[in-house]
Amino acid sequence: MVASVNRPVQRTKGCVVLGTVEPLSDCTECLSRGPVYIAGSIICVFEIFRKGGKKGNAMSKIFGVTVLLLSSMSAFATVLTEFHNTDSDVQWRVVNDNVMGGRSLGDFVVQNEKLLFTGSTNTRGGGFSSVRSVSRALGISDADEGLELLVKGDRRTYIFRVQTSAGVTYWAEFPTFEEWTFTRIPFSDFEPRWRGRSLNGPVLKPSEIVSLGLMIYDGRDGAFSLAVDNISVF
């Protein structure tokens, strides 16, 4: 199924160039650089949701260009899960650091067709919490380029975790914001890991992915909250 995500991404201030701490002064600067930012492996779309002003003014043009980009960005993404919470959808489970004697707490709930992943990390132990899907064929092709998420977080850095049919785990980090944000992670950015350590393992073959996962393991203590609207491949 081809996805067409039409929920607006609302960011009118506090925008930054991803992968840096460089702030954008205003929406005009956003247009001058292009509404879609590419920094490293992450693509984030900032939408100007206030049309206002005279016909044909800069704000209206920014709005129109950004909506077009939002539509085109998701028009070619194939949905893996929209969290319908049905037997045919991807099923999830919690794995926290208590499996290695840690003290972090984490859980999830699927409601209103969103996955809400919340809890608290404690670095005096493992320092991580995660949700992972039950292994199953996901229909991802080696021709697919990466994963696309529509997420809202807490400005902490999260990890997208995938596992292959051979049992190899791969990680890629992504930042979060307090507004709904499209994030794209190319498969080429996933690195093989074992218990947080980098491995000299094989390059990820997307067609072998059988499990998806979201993880927080940023070396910080405290509460976390991540909402996910959908996960797709592009």
Q: Whole-angstrom Cα distance, residue 120 to residue 190?
A: 25
CA torsion sign for 21, 27, 29, 31 is positive
pLDDT in tens, 146-172: 999 999 999 999 999 999 999 999 999
pLDDT in tens, 20-41: 445 555 444 544 444 333 333 3
pLDDT value for 15: 46
pTM of the model: 0.70
Q: What is the DSSP string of 96-141?
A: EGGGGT---EEEEEEETTEEEEEEEE-TTTT--EEEEEPP------
Q: What is the DSSP string of 35-48?
A: SEEEETTEEEE-B-
Name the pLDDT band for 85 (thresholds 50, 70, 90). Answer: confident
Q: Among candidates 228, 230, 221, 229, which has minimal Cα distance to 117?
A: 228
Between 197 and 232, the higher pLDDT residue: 232
Rounded to the nearest angstrom, the gap between the alpha carbon of residue 8 and the centroid of all alpha carbons in its chain is 16
What domains can you pick out in the chain, each with its CATH number?
A: 2-75 (no CATH), 80-233 (2.60.120.430)
